[in-house]
Structure formats: structure tokens, C-alpha cells
Amino acid sequence: MTSTGTDLLKMIPFSFFIIIPGGEIFLPPALYVFPNMMPSTFVSKATIEAKQSANLAKRPLYANKIHAFLLETIKNTEEEEDFYNKLRN
């Protein structure tokens, strides 16, 4: 439902380039300035997969940061064993 709503909102400025004769000339500069302007039906699957793989590549980095933060928190608590047991559960 969310993607459908955003696609409808993206279709309004995109329709300018489709309806007006010669408007396709301004499409490449407009996409350079607003890269997320294209509705999802016009985005290739390769682009979607590239974004997903980039997000998956970032996961270990964020997991390491969270792990380091939790270890720092454990070191700073007086009830180290209690906190660590709660964290395991």
C-alpha cells in the first residue's frame, strides 16, 4: 500500500515529461537532480537488487557497532552478570 501511494505521488511530476511534447528532452537532467522521481514500475530489477545488496553489505558494520556499544554498557554496569544474562535471554 505504501509503495502504491508513493508511486501515485511520483507519477504527478513524471507525467509532465510524458504528456508534453518534447518533454522527454528534460527527463535526464530532471532525473539527475531528483533520482527517486521515477515510479517503481520504471525502475529496473537490477537497480532494486543493487540497492538491496548495498543494504545487506552494511548490516555487519551496524551489527558490530551495536555489539561494541552493548559490551561497553556491560563494562559500565555494576550488575555485570545480571545484565549479561538478560542480554542472552
Give yes or no for residue 11 having a pLDDT over 70.
Answer: yes
Q: Is the dihedral of CA 62, 67, 72, 76 positive or negative?
A: positive
In the prediction, which pLDDT does 79 show?
65
Whether residues 1 and 38 fall in one domain: yes
For residue 31, what pLDDT is reported? 79
Domain, as residue range, for 86 = 44-89
Backbone region of residue 78 per phi and psi (left: phi > 0; alpha: psi in -120 to 50; beta: other values): alpha
49 shares a domain with 18: no
CB 14 within 8 A of CB 38: yes
Looking at the structure, do residues 19 and 58 belong to the same domain, yes or no? no
Q: Confirm if 35 and 62 have CB atoms less than 8 A apart.
A: no
35 & 71 share domain: no
| Residue with grid cell 543493487, as numbered in its chain | 50
Rounded mean pLDDT, 71-86:
70
- Count the domains in the chain: 2
Indicate the average pLDDT of the chain.
Answer: 78
Global pTM reads: 0.38
